[in-house]
Amino acid sequence: MAQQTLSVVDSHTGGEPTRIIVAGGPDLDGPLSNRVQQLRNTADYIRTSVILEPRGSDVLVGGLLTPPAASDCAAGIIFFNNVDYLHMCGHGTIGLAVTLAHMGTLQTGSHQFDTPVGVVSATLHDANRVTIRNVPSWRYRAGVSVEIPGHGPVTGDVAWGGNWFFLVSEHGQSLTLDNTDVLTRFTEAIRDALKRQGITGADNGLIDHIELFDISDSADSRNFVLCPGGAYDRSPCGTGTSAKLACLAADGKLQAGETWVQESIVGSAFEGSFEAVEASADLPTGVGPVIVPSITGSAWITAESTLFLDESDPFRTGIQA
Ligand code: PYC
């Protein structure tokens, strides 16, 4: 084929962009967790051409719309970024619901989406506002110290919120938008040190998101979240806010049904709350409590486009190192 085209709809959720492939993607089958492997092994160029320059940027999160494997779901979705596939993406799921509403295929009300880590639900309140009910989330380890070269020890919690996070409250950094270069280098150093020191999530899960917290004038907390590919999340990060709620629940600092407002580094906010659920038998003993987080945020459509992947284009599949 001389030229392949992909139809995409772009949105942003609290400033963080999402690009959903709504037509032209590959046919995949089986459970969503298998489809990620199929995509990675047979059509990773879809991810790279949509996300990498010259069509995308490191900040962008992509999503491939695919028919759901679970019959009670409105759609299946596989999220990815500039380096790999995400297990789940909270801001992206809010963007997905707003995208489908924009396309006229999702009405206000509650819907379920199939993801590689389980079914999540999304309640579309209006054209822009969405509440997602995320996968069960929990703290794995508390008060883990890691030695950062040139800085000293940093202590944080390891928690699952749909991705693995290291959450740090005591860090001595200024969480302001004019300090993101410093924050990026600092959190990358934490992520590298965790890897070097063999600190992981359960089942050796790679901790690829680092989250710093500070006080906020207008919310319960402000955060800075380093994403796996080195960009920082412009939104408060849906899976990161879920991990935070799990830690608050574990410390008894937030009760089921109470609202937590998480502000991002750019000043956008998510409202979070949780319900407590029974731990499933496959979780390591002693972790938890296990919660099901709900995250509310707003997204806006920014573009509808056709991407051209021309065989004669030397950067057809993106600029790769
Ligand atoms: O909102 O969960 C999220 C997310 C993960 C990476 C970027 N955003």
Q: Give the helix ranges, DSSP H, for 132-287.
A: 180-196, 238-250
pLDDT tens track for 181-216:
999 999 999 999 999 999 999 999 999 999 999 999
Expressed in angstroms and rounded, the spacing between residue 135 Cα and the centre of ligand 1 is: 13
pLDDT tens track for 38-66:
999 999 999 999 999 999 999 999 999 99
Expressed in angstroms and rounded, the spacing between residue 247 Cα and the centre of ligand 1 is: 18
Best probe residue, ligand 1, of 51, 61, 115 (max atoms within 8 Å of C-beta): 61
Which phi and psi (to 5°) does residue 157 adopt?
Answer: -110, 150
pLDDT tens track for 135-168:
999 999 999 999 999 999 999 999 999 999 999 9
Q: What is the pLDDT of residue 1?
A: 53
Expressed in angstroms and rounded, the spacing between residue 89 Cα and the centre of ligand 1 is: 4
Q: Ligand 1 atom 5: the closest Cα is on which residue?
A: 89
Which phi and psi (to 5°) does residue 36 adopt?
Answer: -60, -45
Q: What is the pLDDT of residue 214?
A: 98
Atom of ligand 1 nearest to the CA of 237: 1
Q: What is the pLDDT of residue 279?
A: 85
Q: What is the pLDDT of residue 55?
A: 98
Residue 2's pLDDT band (cuts 50, 70, 90): confident
Catalytic residue among 73, 89, 227, 247: 89
Best probe residue, ligand 1, of 11, 12, 13, 16 (max atoms within 8 Å of C-beta): 16
- Between CA 88 and CA 96 the distance in angstroms is 12
Q: What is the pLDDT of residue 282?
A: 83
| pLDDT at 284 exceeding the cut of 90 | no
Question: Region 248-268: what's the mean pLDDT?
Answer: 98
Residue 305's pLDDT band (cuts 50, 70, 90): very high
Q: Which residues pair with 23 in a beta bridge?
A: 7
Asked if the peptide bond before residue 293 counts as cis, ω within 30 degrees of 0, the response is no
Residues with CB under 6 A from ligand 1: 16, 61, 86, 89-91, 227, 233, 235, 237-239
Residue 21's pLDDT band (cuts 50, 70, 90): very high
Expressed in angstroms and rounded, the spacing between residue 33 Cα and the centre of ligand 1 is: 18
pLDDT tens track for 111-136:
999 999 999 999 999 999 999 999 99
Percent of the chain residues topping a pLDDT of 90? 95
Please say if 89 is a catalytic residue.
yes
- Between CA 274 and CA 262 the distance in angstroms is 14
Question: Region 294-320: what's the mean pLDDT?
Answer: 97
| pLDDT at 286 exceeding the cut of 80 | no
Residue 231's pLDDT band (cuts 50, 70, 90): very high
For the record, the structure tokens of 58 come out as: 């490191």
- Between CA 19 and CA 303 the distance in angstroms is 9
| pLDDT at 260 exceeding the cut of 60 | yes
| SS3 state of residue 126 | coil
Expressed in angstroms and rounded, the spacing between residue 77 Cα and the centre of ligand 1 is: 14
Q: Which residues contact 189 (CB under 8 A, 6 or more apart)?
A: 148, 149, 150, 151
